[in-house]
Amino acid sequence: MSAFAQQLICWHKQHGRHGLPWQGSRDPYAVWLSEIMLQQTQVSSVIPYYRRFLGSFPDIAALAAAEGDEVLAHWSGLGYYSRARNLHRAAQIMAEQHAGEFPREFEHIQALPGIGRSTAAAISAFAFGARRAILDGNVKRVLARYLAVAGYPGEKKVEDLLWRHAEALLPENGIEIYTQALMDLGATLCKRGKPECASCPVSADCIARQQGRQGVFPQPRPRKSLPEKATTMLLFMRQGEIFLEKRPPAGIWGGLWSFPESDGTEDAQRQGEMRFGFESGPPEPAPVMRHVFTHFRLHIQPLLINVRRIRPGARQQDGVWLTVDDAMEVAIPTPVRKLLAGLGRPERKGLS
């Protein structure tokens, strides 16, 4: 066993995380769910979602049989909604092609929607004890510092080198503890901003620390200015209810419920009348909201619009009227949730 692996395993016994709700289980379904939720999301944010999701969908069969809206509603607020759609589709594939069982073969696991090489390796290690290397964001940072690997880990040649290092450091035994220890080290000590090297079990052999260059590794993503986009959200309100429409299944917030949108080039009242048959008062602008995605910034101009009358026979396809409280329970994007929370404040009651 490498000194790196041995030191990590010994450290984890005393200092690692042991009380997380998904730990101690060999149920591949529970392991898979936790690994997907933890992608680009902090543990503290995941825990309540994990418990609620597992309570409603306790196994593959329950998740496969669920309605898509129900799955997205349980994910609402956690972000990166493609993860929820992939979970749902993967459960359906397992029900159809694997007799409702989670596959043990690494290649079959990796073939499921939303599961890449590192996630498949983590599931294989924790659920089946398979000797597989992981390489998530935290692990890339640990190995880049420990071995002073130059370059941005998102570049293929750098990532390939890190994969080779990750595989070379694997212990022959104790793969579950080692894998968890590696994750914990990156999450609790070898942090991006201020690594706690004095407490690190492998700091004596860490090349970045020896050179005093912890802040150099890993090289950050090359800076690019994010494109700026803008939209107008139409908050139609009537008799204490708010109007939401379902977004197309593909694209940003696919399949979620949201406010109707406009590019701002047409009159909001006219759009409401033409699209939904709403006769309304003049729109009231609310403060612009900024929402940052991975690849662009979105500036949202909310318009509060009081609907006075709905034309007889008008149809609101893919639309629904809900109270603010009920709307908060369905699958909605984070900006919509924030706007609804604002509508629920006492000073906004008169607008509904």
Domain with residue 296: its CATH number is 3.90.79.10
- Do 177 and 239 belong together in one domain? no
- Residues 180, 286, single domain; the answer is no
pLDDT value, residue 66: 97
To the nearest whole percent, how much of the chain has pLDDT over 90?
A: 84
The answer to which of 114-128, 269-283, 320-334, 337-351 has the lowest mean pLDDT is 337-351
In whole numbers, what is the pLDDT of the chain averaged over residues?
Answer: 93
Residues 122 and 61 grouped into a single domain: yes
- pLDDT tens figures, 244-267: 999 998 888 999 999 999 876 568
Using DSSP's 3-state secondary structure scheme, residue 22 falls into coil
Helical residues (DSSP H) of the chain, grouped into ranges: 3-15, 28-37, 43-56, 60-65, 68-75, 82-97, 106-110, 117-128, 137-146, 156-168, 175-188, 207-210, 268-276, 324-327, 334-343
Structure tokens belonging to residue 98? 């694997």
Q: Say how far apart CA 349 and CA 97 lie, in whole Å.
A: 51
Domain check: are 179 and 92 in the same one? yes
Q: What is the pLDDT of residues 42-89, one digit of tens each?
A: 999 999 999 999 999 999 999 999 999 999 999 999 999 999 999 999
Does any domain span residue 203? no
199 found inside a domain: no
pLDDT at 124 over 50: yes
Residues 64 and 114 both lie in one domain: yes
Most confident of 203-217, 300-314, 335-349: 203-217
Mean pLDDT of 289-302: 93
Q: Are residues 241 and 106 in the same domain?
A: no
More confident residue, 230 or 347: 230
Say whether both 65 and 125 belong to one domain.
yes
Report the CATH number that the domain containing residue 66 is assigned in CATH: 1.10.340.30
- Catalytic residue check, 35: yes
Share of the chain above pLDDT 70, in %: 97
Average pLDDT of span 325-347: 87
Task: Identify whether residues 7 and 109 lie together within a single domain.
Answer: yes
pLDDT classification of 268: cutoffs 50, 70, 90:
confident
Q: 271-297: buried (b, 16+ CB within 10 Å) or exposed (e) per residue?
A: bbbebbbbebeebeebeeeeeeeeeee
Q: Is the pLDDT of residue 346 over 80?
A: no
Residue-level pLDDT at 1: 80
Residue 349 in this model has a pLDDT that exceeds 50? no
Residue 264: Cβ within 10 Å count: 12
Same domain as 125, residue 72: yes
Backbone angles phi, psi at 44, to 5 degrees: -60, -35
Band the pLDDT of 348: cuts 50, 70, 90: very low
Please tell me the predicted confidence (pLDDT) of residue 352. Answer: 36
Are residues 176 and 234 part of one domain?
no
Q: What pLDDT does residue 350 have?
A: 37
Residue 138: inside a domain: no
Q: Which helix (H) or strand (E) holds 194?
A: none
Q: Are residues 181 and 234 in the same domain?
A: no
Count: domains in the chain = 2
- Coil, strand or helix: which one is 343? helix
pLDDT average, residue stretch 318-341:
94
Catalytic residue among 35, 67, 70, 279: 35
Residue type, 176: E
For residue range 129-143, list pLDDT tens digits in order: 999 999 999 999 999
Which domain does 58 fall in, by range? 3-133+169-188
**Residue 259: what are its φ and ψ, rounded to 5°?**
-75, 145
The Cα 49–Cα 38 span in angstroms is: 11
Give mean pLDDT, residues 3-32: 95
Average pLDDT over residues 86-105: 97
Residue 218 lies inside a defined structural domain of this protein: no
For 298, list phi and psi in degrees, rounded to 5. -115, 125
Are residue 182 and residue 233 in the same domain, yes or no?
no
- Let me know how long the chain is: 352
Residues 144-188 have pLDDT tens digits of: 999 999 999 999 999 999 999 999 999 999 999 999 999 999 999
